[in-house]
Structure 1
């Protein structure tokens, strides 16, 4: 009971702050009877580089009308430490560009990350969303190469109340030393490439994709088959469904449909996004076993004040279901393994995993300064997952893991709305600081 109260007290605070901010946004900012002078003549927008120019007494950079071919580049150094990774050093770069007239073509974006650690880990990734002239084609990619170490915690939603309390930096690694933590070391290659064609003028696209997942040199560091015996979730699942315990892969093709009416993919103020695909992973394409997977995702953005577009409530839902066959353990749906590693704030990456998973999150975003330099967020999220193993069977929605928190936003590039994000998330037996570039969703 003491542990439950220990968790619920900070979560109640987060929930209360979230509710208060919504009330403020609804009643304080959104009044139609009184129009403040600042709404008629808004302050000039600035970013962190304008602040640096002012300090160095250089003239401010004027926000230009978006032009075809004009590139915006934002680079954020990554420096940190965690017990599992040691020292971390690297950089994240956000690149945006219009490939044609911005009046007829949506913004193309790319996010690159490269990090190395003192424990000889390497993290490389390239994620991008590309729109050809007049939005005729939408091409996206999620590509990663990891030489990685990370604990796993079994399948389904278990151990919420008995989990020893831990803290992490950016959700990558934590200090948990309890029985639930099962360290794994492995190499991971992901290559997802999607090609969608516009099918009408209402932002709908359809097409296909190629998806490759490959895990190799897997070392189950807490597995002990000799006395004293210690069997891990990865070993149990792999043996039960006939997977090699040291390497496996899932290679497939997908049929996909998408709708995207967001006004800006980097930091939306309005619109909604829907994406769904059905993925087939046959053995003849190199999969360890044949399987099929259904993925669906929805995001929407509701403005609470027309005069201040930054003040909004955003919603994010996604789910993944293994429809047929079996997927290797490390390639099962898991929190913070979405495209941009943003789900599950309040928990460590990979804390929840299952053959079926559903995730929901709501975030209130608000302006702190009139010039747009600073902003804030509060958020609530929940995760549920299933466990297919007979002895520990758990269905979707049997148990739900809640999380929440708050964060600060610093405008890094006013031209494309890129923010530096710093969030503090709280979950059952866990809390962490998450530093990133761009919004969570």
Structure 2
């Protein structure tokens, strides 16, 4: 019979190793000295420790560490999240990553799906993908969303009071009085890119966004609110609308990983043309830009990264529905503007930038940290122009490595902004 005390100790050794940063699973096969002398092994994911390694170390201490390239690239977890926009969230989420084909230059394809419910009454389902075919000849990006939403609303613009009528003052909402809008939301988006030069893609696609049963349940007296004022001003139905259009994009990418890049850049510039013949409530032309740059600060520890992000959206002509205006958290994956709720600031033209420092904390890279700051500006068509007023935000957070094969992190951030805005943000994968 095995000694029960020895068995107990063996199960606690990996936990102690985790706390001091020792790559326990790898250390069973390689010595620490060999890691110091072989930078290739030290830099590889073999030396990293993720949730799967932790579970194996606790429940299967005699099992050998798995080659991360052969591990399952699918992460399935309970989807616990929190941020001031949605409240507390519970559900299930899956993130998958795989390199298609045998071309060593092919970028990793990513897919994710989630179904969840929140304490604020939001029910949300989505499925999205970013797929690169072998050799990166084609790139397919798309998403499908069905949701019952509860949207915080803080008015139009960047927080500066309008100088016109009472309606304009309510619309600009300088005191950031909170309103809440309930609605059903459906979205289908698909873009197909063709590689025309190494790392350079041209793409086109469609986007359909539908909102139904829009209401402010607290506004029983039908008083003026920013949503009602804007909808009436630009001729949108208060109860429902559609924002459907054609997408044309130019993309350039040299990122080494789509989930958590250590180096490279990503650029996507596009034109969106909302068309009434596609069912859109109004026609509009909109230009969007997305630029990301990553600098690794260490060859031996490439996880030390400075990351920069700029996202912008600019209405050229026509009109957009109020809830589809670009603004805080209105990027593709709703991750911008940490420190504020989604659409805290918004306008026909919007500009956002963020700088983040990422660094490992434990030697096995299981725990990492980040510190970040962001700034945003918007116009309001009420007297405040783009770049005239700015609003800052910032914070810090921890990262827990969930899947080293795909560099998938659990992200825990605390962020704050102006007007007393602050909150805890929890999610899977990096903000950008």
Report the TM-score range of the alignment, normalised by the length of the smaller protein. Answer: 0.7 to 0.9
1:243-279 alpha-carbon deviations (Å, 9 max, x no partner): 1011011111111110111001011110000001101
Secondary structure of the equivalent of 1:192? strand
Further displaced range: 333-342 or 230-239 = 333-342
Determine the structure 2 residue equivalent to 1:105.
106
Question: Does the CA contact (< 8 Å) of 2:152 and 2:341 recur in 1?
Answer: no
The one of 42, 47, 51 equivalent to 1:48 is: 51
Is the counterpart of residue 417 in structure 1 residue 407 in structure 2?
yes
* Counterparts of 1:60 and 1:44, CA distance in 2: 16
Counterpart secondary structure, 1:402: strand
**2:368 aligned with 1:372:** no
Contact 1:205 1:257 in 2 (8 A): yes
1:394 equivalent to 2:397? Answer: no
Cα deviation code 1:373-405 (max 9, x no counterpart)? 1110000001111112xxx33211121110000
Given that residues 81 and 427 in structure 2 are in contact (C-alpha distance below 8 angstroms), is that contact kept between their aligned partners in structure 1? no
Q: 1:131 to 1:212 in 2, by over 3 A?
A: same
Q: Which runs of 5+ in 2 are unaligned?
A: 1-34, 162-174
RMSD: 2.3
**C-alpha contact 1:127 1:339 (8 A) present in aligned 2:** no
Which residue pairs with 1:294 in the alignment?
287
CA distance in 1, matches of 2:118, 2:68: 41
Alignment of 1:50-65 (within 5 A): 50-59=53-62, 62-64=65-67
Displacement of 1:118: 5.7
Q: In the aligned structure 2, how far is the partner of 1:60 from the partner of 1:426?
A: 44
Cα separation, partners in 2 of 1:153 and 1:413, compared to 1, 3 Å:
same
**1:262 lines up with 2:266 in the alignment:** no
1:210 aligned to which of 206, 214, 232: 206
1:124, distance to aligned residue in structure 2 (A): 0.7
**d(CA) in 1 for partners of 2:300, 2:105:** 25
Q: Residue deviations 1:317-355, cap 9 Å, x none?
A: 010011110001011112112221210101112211111
Instruction: Tell me what 1:188 maps to.
Output: 185
TM-score, normalised relative to structure 1: 0.81
Superposed, 1:26-175 pairs within 5 Å as: 37=36, 40=39, 42=42, 44-59=47-62, 62-64=65-67, 66=69, 71-79=72-80, 88-101=89-102, 103-117=104-118, 120-158=121-159
User: Which residue in 1 is equivalent to 2:395?
Assistant: 405
Give yes or no for contact 2:156–2:226 (8 Å, CA) kept in 1: yes
Query: 2-side partners of 1:179 and 1:315: how far apart?
Result: 28
Larger radius of gyration: 2
Q: Give the SS at the match of 1:158.
A: coil
Confirm or deny that 1:433 pairs with 2:424: yes
* Structure 2: distance between partners of 1:39 and 1:56: 30
Runs (4 or more) in structure 1 with deviation over 6 Å come to: 80-87
Q: Residue 396 of structure 2 aligns to a residue in which SS?
A: strand
Q: What is the CA deviation profile of residues 396-415 of structure 1, one whole-angstrom value per residue up to 9, with x for unaligned ones?
A: 11211100000101111111
2:377 maps to: 384
Q: Provide the C-alpha distance between the structure 1 equivalents of 2:213 and 2:135, rounded to a whole number of angstroms.
A: 45
- Match for residue 339 of structure 1? 332
Residues 58-95 of structure 1, C-alpha deviation per residue, up to 9 Å, x if partnerless? 3456453747xx85111231346789967642022111
Mapped partners of 1:46, 1:421: distance in 2: 16
Of the candidates 197, 201, 217, which is equivalent to residue 200 of structure 1? 197
Equivalent residue for 1:12? none
Q: CA 1:273–1:60 in 2, change beyond 3 Å: closer, same or farther?
A: farther
**Residues 272, 119 of structure 1: CA spacing in aligned structure 2 closer, same or farther, 3 A cutoff?**
closer
Which of 303-312 and 75-84 deviates more?
Answer: 75-84
CA distance in 1, matches of 2:220, 2:60: 63
